[in-house]
Amino acid sequence: MDTQKPFVIGVDLGGTNTVFGIVDARGQMIAENSIKTQAYKTAEDFVEAGTLCLRPLIEQVGGIGNIAGMGIGAPNGNYYSGSIEFAPNLSWAHEGIVPLAQMFSDQLNGLPVRLTNDANAAAMGEMAYGAARGMKNFIVITLGTGVGSGIVINGQLVYGHDGFAGELGHVTMVRGEKGRTCGCGRKGCLEAYCSATGVARTAREILANTDRPSLLRNKPADQLESFDVSIAASKGDEVANEIFQFTGKMLGEACADFAAFSSPEAFIFFGGLCKAGDLIMKPIEEAYNQHVMPIFKGKAKFLISGLMNANAAVLGASALGWGE
């Protein structure tokens, strides 16, 4: 860590907003601002707008000479190349490879800029400032629109041979034709069951296939969201609780397989679904300990992100700015 340069820039590049933050060594956000991600036609226009947004923040901490580096968390971000590659939900990046790290570096006096995908950025954040402080082996699982993951082994993010490792949302949980179709084009992926859309789909299936009473019937089925399930479950709704049981069981069984791979100290869950607390975490941990190899039983911790209320994605990305 360059103590001569006490700040880093963190960037959370999301489908709607891109948030820029200046962060100090203790993980305090000193200044932040944002732009609309998709308001630009080209990557060049986006980088120009981002740089304009950043300049006053940088001046606020005494100029670029006080900044050690910049980290960006972005969908389909490749750490090795510093590029966003074929990101389906970004209008200016869905058809090709955008060397975003280099483009920002060119605009910012050659500042070192690193880029990774959003789940990896979350894992960096947990390690630097969150629930994984002091851990060398853990897995962050992000439960959002999709299911993402950031895997840390021996204190290092796992990027794999091509920079795309850590796609645990796409291990196959239900094999063969029975498996739900996943956004990746295959069938039976963990994401198809445990993402927000997967949870909503589970709700619709149970409501359609039974006539059990449920608070979830108060809303048209095609408008149900995972958030509705959380609210209903917190009110003691049985069907909603069963949906969490089902979702947690599948996550726990998946984690049992992940343990056979890297035997982590902890699984850390991040995202809206975790706000349900024990309603989702208990079924996960129970299914894990029921299905994992005896040698691993009872060893792993199951934690909720330590950064859920902070601007976690910016903090996580900023950790890359220290050059780790």
Strands (E), the chain: 7-13, 17-24, 29-36, 67-73, 77-78, 83-85, 97-98, 113-116, 138-143, 147-153, 156-157, 266-270, 301-304
Pick 15 or 179: Cβ nearer a copy of itself = 179
Does 178 help bind a copy of itself (rule: CB under 8 A)? Answer: no
153 in contact with a copy of itself (CB under 8 A): yes
Task: Work out the number of other CB atoms within 10 angstroms of the CB of residue 153.
Answer: 15
By CB under 8 A, tell whether 165 contacts a copy of itself: yes
For residue 168, the 8-state DSSP code is G
Considering only residues 154, 209, 218, 223, which one is a binding residue for a copy of itself as defined by CB under 8 A?
A: 154
Q: How far is the CB of 205 from a copy of itself (least distance, A)?
A: 18
Q: How far apart are CA 203 and CA 194, in angstroms?
A: 12
The verdict on 82 binding a copy of itself (CB under 8 A) reads no
Q: Which is nearer to a copy of itself, 30 or 293 (CB)?
A: 293
Question: Residue 308 corresponds to which tokens in the numbers above?
Answer: 């859920």
161 belongs to the binding site for a copy of itself (CB under 8 A)? yes
In angstroms, what is the minimal distance from the CB of 173 to a copy of itself? 8
Q: Is 324 in the site for a copy of itself (CB under 8 A)?
A: no
**Is 118 one of the binding residues for a copy of itself (CB under 8 A)?**
no
Q: Is 249 in the site for a copy of itself (CB under 8 A)?
A: no
273: burial class by Cβ within 10 Å (0-12, 13-18, 19+)?
buried
Q: Which is nearer to a copy of itself, 191 or 237 (CB)?
A: 191
The total of other beta-carbon atoms located within 10 Å of residue 154's CB is 8
**Could you give the CA distance from residue 322 to residue 324 in angstroms, rounded to a whole number?**
6
- Judged by CB under 8 A, which of 62, 160, 213, 323 binds a copy of itself? 160
19 contacts 11 by C-beta, under 8 angstroms? yes
167 counts as binding a copy of itself under rule CB under 8 A: yes
The radius of gyration of the chain from alpha carbons, rounded to an integer in Å, stands at 20
Q: Which residues 266-295 are close enough to bind a copy of itself by CB under 8 A?
A: 291, 293-295
Contacting positions for a copy of itself (CB under 8 A): 136-137, 151, 153-154, 156, 158-168, 170-175, 184-186, 253, 256-258, 260-265, 291, 293-296, 299-300
